[in-house]
Amino acid sequence: MSGRVIIGVLIDYVSWHTAMLIIGCLALIAATVFWKILPESRNFRAQSLKPRNLLDGFAVQFRDAGLPWLFLTGFLLMGCFVTLFNYIGYRLLEAPYNLSQSVVGLFSVVYLSGIYSSAKIGALADQLGRRKVLWAVIVMMLVGITLTMFTPLAVVIVGVLLFTFGFFGAHSVASSWIGRRAVKAKGQASSLYLFSYYVGSSVAGTAGGVFWHYAGWNGIGLFIGVLLIAALLVAIRLAKLPPLQVNVQV
C-alpha cells in the first residue's frame, strides 16, 4: 500500500526515477529494522539441505487432495487483486473522473480494510469452518468488481472497497488452511502457496494489460470476473473434500 500511495503522491512533484529511489530507500530501511528486531527462532530444528529431501518435501504437498487447489486459489486471488489495482488508476485518470495522480495514489488506502477483514473473516472461518467462508468472500469480491463497472465514482469506490475487503479475507482463510492441511514439510507448503500467490500477481497483473488495451475497464472487469469464477469453483471443490482430521474444523 505504501508503495502505491507514496509513489502516487510523489509523482506529481518529482520524476518517477526519484520516486522509485525513495521507495527503494524506505524498503532498505524496513529490511534493516526487521533484521535487527526479529526475535530468535523458537522450536526450530535445523536440517541439512539435501536436494532429495527438498524435492520430497515439495512433492508430498502435491499428493495431498487439497493443497494444490489452495495453491491455485492463491494464484487466482492475488492475480485478481493486483490486476484491479494495476489498472484502476488509468481509469480514474481519464474522463469522466480526471483525477490527479496524487488522488489516485491515495485511493490505495482502501488496503487498510484488510487489517479488519483478515482478522474478522479469519475469526468467522474458525467459527463456521473454512469451507463455508472461503466461497462466500470470493462472491463478495465478485460483487465488488461488478460495482466497479458502473460510472458513478462513489459506486466505484464502494466496489473497490468491497473487493479489497473480500480479497484480504479470502487470503487469510486460504493461507491459514495451508497450515492445517500440510502434514509434512509445512514450511515448504507455505512457500509453495506464496510462490503461487506472487506468480499470480505477475502473470495475471501483466495479462490484464492486454484486456485494458483492447477493451478498457470492461475488459479488466471481464478478465477479473473469469478468474474469480474459477476461484469460486475451486473453493466449492475444496468445500467437498473430506476433513483431514476429525478434530480440526477446516
Q: What is the CATH number of the domain that holds 163?
A: 1.20.1250.20
Task: Specify whether 148 is located in the same domain as 98.
Answer: yes
What's the rounded Cα separation, in Å, for the pair 211 and 217? 8
Q: Is residue 42 part of a domain?
A: no
**Whose CA is closest to 140, among 112, 176, 99, 173?**
173
Task: Specify whether 101 is located in the same domain as 14.
Answer: no
pLDDT per residue rounded down to tens, the chain (250 residues): 888 888 888 888 889 899 999 999 999 999 999 999 998 888 777 777 778 778 888 888 999 999 999 999 999 999 999 999 999 999 999 999 999 888 888 888 898 888 899 999 989 998 998 999 999 999 999 999 999 999 999 999 999 999 999 999 999 999 999 988 888 888 899 999 999 999 999 999 999 999 999 999 999 999 999 999 999 999 999 999 886 654 444 4
Task: Specify whether 16 is located in the same domain as 65.
Answer: no
**Whose CA is closest to 197, among 219, 167, 218?**
167
Task: Specify whether 20 is located in the same domain as 61.
Answer: no
Task: Specify whether 160 is located in the same domain as 201.
Answer: yes
Domain count, the chain: 2
* 79: amino acid identity, one letter: G
Q: Is residue 191 part of a domain?
A: yes
Residue with cell 469460486: 232
Q: What is the dihedral of CA 240, 246, 247, 249, to 10 degrees?
A: 0
**What's the distance, CA 99 to chain centroid?**
26
Task: Specify whether 109 is located in the same domain as 219.
Answer: yes
Task: Specify whether 65 is located in the same domain as 160.
Answer: yes
Domain with 27 in it: 1-35
As a whole number of Å, the end-to-end CA separation of the chain is: 30
Q: Is residue 48 part of a domain?
A: no
Q: Is residue 229 part of a domain?
A: yes
Q: How many CB atoms lie within 10 A of CB 225?
A: 16
- Tell me the whole-structure pTM to 2 decimals: 0.88
Q: Is residue 249 part of a domain?
A: no
Task: Specify whether 78 is located in the same domain as 196.
Answer: yes
Q: Is residue 170 part of a domain?
A: yes
Q: Is residue 50 part of a domain?
A: no
Task: Specify whether 22 is located in the same domain as 77.
Answer: no
Task: Specify whether 4 is located in the same domain as 119.
Answer: no
Half-sphere exposure of 154 (CA within 13 A, CB side): 0
Task: Specify whether 177 is located in the same domain as 104.
Answer: yes
**Whose CA is closest to 61, among 178, 170, 173, 177?**
178
Task: Specify whether 21 is located in the same domain as 63.
Answer: no
